[in-house]
């Protein structure tokens, strides 16, 4: 009986996502067995620090990629928003599954909306992107760093450490959590690149593995997220600057992309919407924002400087 080894982070959400993909594969291919191999990543080990201080979300995938390149594992399942713009040599995103909900949600103890939070309310997030957007929409809120897995964040909310927290709706739903949440409009509160999508990463050209995985690729989702990732790549794929992008695809294949890039303190903010016939619209929108003034921000962070001129990385 053929067997594939699926490398997964040990976090509850990562394991839930990996279990879901294993079920899809074994349902479609009854003769196939998928074994999940759990790994603790650098990002999981360093929960005491914000992602902005330890090098970004790529820390959640490096160990899994090493396992695939060494032959320990055949493939990995990622939240696409955790995957850097550039992949290691020899690996590819061989399937993008049909996208789940893209938006963020505001979670409170009483289910109130963002505009109903009182001035000075304490809102927790680990994301520079969310921090910038929250402060732009509600400059009177007290936005503070919050790391840890989803259960940890919810416990701190319920304990009263925070009045609200912001999470990705897809993760909340995949964990089956019963919480009081309000969706944030993704056309205004622009999601992370790839948010809501699951990606299967595997060795490029490994036909014995790819034949099982490639049929799960969803063409409209891939088209949308390729535009988002093109936007990210043109802006440097940086771990140091907050940005977001949200692509939608019409029946005729036209891609509409909304995107923004900002200074970490929100002092500079550039956004736009562009439609086009291909995912190249992501590159075009990035070029437009660079021309409108974001170029200096992109260049500074590409040089490894944060907003204080240091070399300490930050990540949206």
| 220-277: pLDDT as tens digits | 999 999 999 999 999 986 667 899 999 999 999 999 999 999 999 999 999 999 999 9
Cβ atoms of residues 261 and 243 within 8 Å:
yes
- Provide the residue range defining the domain that includes 286: 218-306
Q: Is residue 80 located within the same domain as residue 204?
A: yes
Structure tokens at 183: 């969706």
pLDDT of residue 148: 85
Q: Which 3 state secondary structure label does DSSP give 92? A: strand
Cβ atoms of residues 79 and 57 within 8 Å:
no
Q: What strand order describes the sheet that includes 104-108?
A: 142-145, 122-125, 164-168, 104-108, 181-183
Cβ atoms of residues 223 and 100 within 8 Å:
no
Average pLDDT over residues 299-307: 68
Number of helices (H) and strands (E) in the chain: give both, helices first: 11, 13
Q: Is residue 83 located within the same domain as residue 94?
A: yes
Q: Which residue has the higher pLDDT, 157 or 241?
A: 157
For tokens 């914000």, what's the residue? 50
Q: Which residue has the higher pLDDT, 254 or 309?
A: 254
Q: Is residue 153 located within the same domain as residue 286?
A: no
Q: Is residue 276 located within the same domain as residue 204?
A: no
Q: Is residue 229 located within the same domain as residue 258?
A: yes
Does a structural domain hold residue 274?
Answer: yes
Give the confidence band of 41 by pLDDT, cuts at 50, 70, 90: confident
Q: Is residue 230 located within the same domain as residue 210?
A: no
Q: What strand order describes the sheet that includes 91-96?
A: 33-39, 3-9, 75-79, 198-203, 91-96
The H-or-E segment that residue 68 falls in is: helix 62-70
Does a structural domain hold residue 40?
Answer: yes
Q: Is residue 122 located within the same domain as residue 169?
A: yes
Q: Is residue 212 located within the same domain as residue 222?
A: no
Closest CA to 41 of 16, 17, 67, 22: 67
pLDDT of residue 314: 30
Q: Name which of 59-63, 114-118, 219-223 the model is least confident about.
A: 59-63
Does a structural domain hold residue 286?
Answer: yes
CA distance 222 to 219: 5
pLDDT of residue 48: 55
CATH number for the domain spanning 223: value is: 3.30.160.40
Does a structural domain hold residue 228?
Answer: yes
Give the confidence band of 49 by pLDDT, cuts at 50, 70, 90: low
Please tell me the total count of domains within the chain: 3
Structure tokens at 39: 């790994």
Does a structural domain hold residue 245?
Answer: yes
Structure tokens at 166: 């912001």
Q: Which of 82, 104, 163, 206 is catalytic?
A: 82
Using the predicted structure, report yes or no on whether residue 307 has a pLDDT greater than 50: no
Radius of gyration for the alpha carbons in the chain, expressed in angstroms and rounded: 19
Q: Is residue 160 located within the same domain as residue 249?
A: no
Cβ atoms of residues 202 and 80 within 8 Å:
no
CATH number for the domain spanning 77: value is: 3.40.190.10
Q: Which 3 state secondary structure label does DSSP give 297? A: helix
Does a structural domain hold residue 192?
Answer: no
Structure tokens at 180: 């009081």
Q: Is residue 84 located within the same domain as residue 132?
A: no
Using the predicted structure, report yes or no on whether residue 107 has a pLDDT greater than 50: yes
Does a structural domain hold residue 188?
Answer: no
Does a structural domain hold residue 296?
Answer: yes
Q: Is 185 a catalytic residue?
A: no
Using the predicted structure, report yes or no on whether residue 127 has a pLDDT greater than 80: yes
For the chain, the average pLDDT equals 90
Q: Is residue 54 located within the same domain as residue 202?
A: yes
Q: Is residue 82 located within the same domain as residue 174?
A: no
- In Å, how far are 95, 124, 148, 195, 240 from 167, measured between CA atoms? 25, 9, 12, 11, 20
CA distance 204 to 20: 23
pTM over 0.85: yes
The H-or-E segment that residue 228 falls in is: helix 219-234
């Amino acid at each position: 009986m053929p067997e594939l080894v699926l490398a997964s982070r040990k976090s509850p959400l990562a394991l839930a996502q990996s279990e879901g993909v294993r079920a899809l594969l074994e349902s479609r291919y009854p003769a196939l067995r998928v074994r999940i191999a759990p790994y603790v990543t650098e990002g999981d080990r360093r929960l005491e620090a914000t992602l902005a201080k330890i090098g970004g979300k790529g820390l959640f995938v490096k160990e899994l990629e090493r396992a695939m390149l060494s032959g320990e594992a055949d493939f990995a399942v990622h939240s696409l928003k955790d995957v850097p713009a550039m992949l290691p040599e020899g690996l590819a995103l061989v399937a993008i599954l049909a996208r789940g909900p893209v938006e963020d949600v505001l979670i409170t103890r009483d289910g109130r909306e963002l505009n109903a939070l009182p001035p000075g309310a304490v809102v927790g997030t680990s994301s520079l992107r969310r921090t910038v957007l929250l402060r732009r929409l509600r400059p009177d809120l007290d936005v503070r760093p919050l790391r840890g897995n989803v259960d940890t964040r919810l416990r701190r909310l319920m304990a009263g450490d925070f009045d609200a927290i912001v999470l990705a709706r897809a993760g909340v739903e995949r964990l089956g959590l019963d919480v009081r949440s309000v969706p944030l409009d993704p056309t205004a509160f622009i999601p992370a690149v790839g948010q809501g999508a699951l990606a299967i990463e595997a060795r490029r050209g490994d036909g014995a593995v790819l034949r099982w995985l490639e049929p799960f690729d969803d063409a409209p989702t891939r088209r949308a997220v390729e535009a988002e990732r093109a936007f990210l790549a043109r802006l440097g794929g940086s771990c140091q600057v907050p940005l977001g992008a949200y692509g939608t695809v019409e029946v005729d294949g036209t891609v509409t992309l909304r995107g923004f890039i900002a200074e970490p303190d929100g002092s500079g903010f550039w956004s736009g919407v562009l439609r086009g016939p291909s995912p190249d619209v992501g590159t075009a929108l990035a070029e437009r924002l660079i021309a409108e003034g974001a170029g200096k921000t992109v260049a500074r962070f590409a040089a490894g400087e944060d907003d204080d001129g240091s070399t300490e990385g930050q990540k949206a």
